[in-house]
Amino acid sequence: MTNTVLKKDWKKELWSYVLLIVGSALFAAGDVMFVNPYMMAPGGTYGLSNVFSTLWGGKISVWAICMDVPLLLIGTWILGPKFGVKTIISTFLIFGFTFAIESWWWGYNPVIHDGPIVAQAIEGISMVQTHDGLWFVPDYFLNTVVAGLIYGVAIGMIFRSGATSGGSDIISMILHKYTKISLGTLVTIVDGCITLSTLIAFGDIRLPIYSIIIIFIEGKVIDLVVDGMKSYKTMFIVTDEMEAVRNYILNDLKRGGTCLTGTGLYQGNERKMIYVTLDRADMVKLRSQLHAIDPKAFVNIMDSSEILGMGFKALPKE
């Protein structure tokens, strides 16, 4: 292996740990400063820890680590060594950052509210009391949007570093092993139960609704952070003007593709089909040009979440 390759690998590994550290810090800040003061629980062990901390006191970080460590141990025992070093590091980094923010730097006061924090409740206005005994008029929607953005960026950075989700996801993985229910369904059920715990604990229907909105925004932002802003489209084109379409893709769009041969179901005739993946801008150009080349062409356009290989993102080494 050359020195250049070693240098690139070293820089890539260093960058992954930068992402891991910054992502863990952002997650802790989002939980303590935006999610907990509004008594929301958008899934995960930290969501459940917010509920426990608000109901019975104690620090969010302590509640969470008391769940995360046993879950990692049980998960390793039942599922095998599926959890990498970075996942374990992330677990303790989030614990450390959360403990520092709630204990020494910020506490549990909200960042976003509709006006100054006051020392007593105002009659007739919905107020929320923080752990420090202060009251504030909540701005739930703005806080929810900001919390979802922070969570999404944080978890996206953790994913990009090579770490995987631990916490409550381990419960879903264990249940998946014995029930054979799809993992995605189990994750939804487990996180849904955690989200609904806010309704049971605090009796406010807004809390699980806003928590679900956080999860939705978080998921969209994670996709952007992990996959980037680039949006690709895969097109399957069946046309009688194969050569003209081929020349346009190669010469005007400067892209490649694959020509496939198939048989039509209706008449049983042999047909040629072009398979090509393009970014959104080139897809629009080709779709428009197809109308001029062959108005009777059949086109199937699909979203492509990840494209690897020549001309796109490099194939991962592992």
Q: SS3 string of 46-69?
A: HHHHHHHHHHHCCCHHHHHHHHHH
Closest by alpha carbon to 35, among 24, 48, 50? 50
For the stretch 35-80, pLDDT in tens is: 999 999 999 999 999 999 999 999 999 999 999 999 999 988 888 8
Structure tokens at 150: 């922070």
> Residue 277, SS3?
strand
Strand partners, 308: 313
Closest by alpha carbon to 298, among 306, 287, 307, 309? 287
For the stretch 287-312, pLDDT in tens is: 888 988 998 888 998 887 666 666 66
CA distances 20 to 16, 87, 142, 157, Å, are 6, 9, 27, 6
pLDDT surpasses 80 at 172:
yes
pLDDT surpasses 70 at 116:
yes
User: Which DSSP category does 38 fall into?
Assistant: G
CATH classification code of 232-304: 3.30.70.120
Give the per-residue pLDDT at 132. Answer: 72
For the stretch 129-159, pLDDT in tens is: 777 777 888 899 999 999 999 999 999 899 8
- Residue 120's pLDDT band, with cuts at 50, 70 and 90, is low
For the stretch 205-263, pLDDT in tens is: 999 999 999 999 998 898 888 767 667 889 999 988 899 999 999 998 888 888 888 87
Average pLDDT rounded to a whole number, residues 81-89: 82
Average pLDDT, the chain: 85
Say which residues have a Cβ less than 8 Å from residue 208's Cβ, sequence separation at least 6: 41, 195, 196, 198, 199
Strand partners, 275: 236, 258
Which comes out higher in pLDDT, residue 98 or 174? 98
Q: What is the pTM of this model?
A: 0.78
For the stretch 177-214, pLDDT in tens is: 888 787 768 888 899 999 999 999 999 999 999 999 99
Closest by alpha carbon to 42, among 145, 177, 174, 162? 145
**Contact call for residues 210 and 144 (beta carbons, < 8 A):** yes
Q: Give the residue extent of every domain in the chain.
A: 3-227, 232-304
Give the per-residue pLDDT at 18. Answer: 94
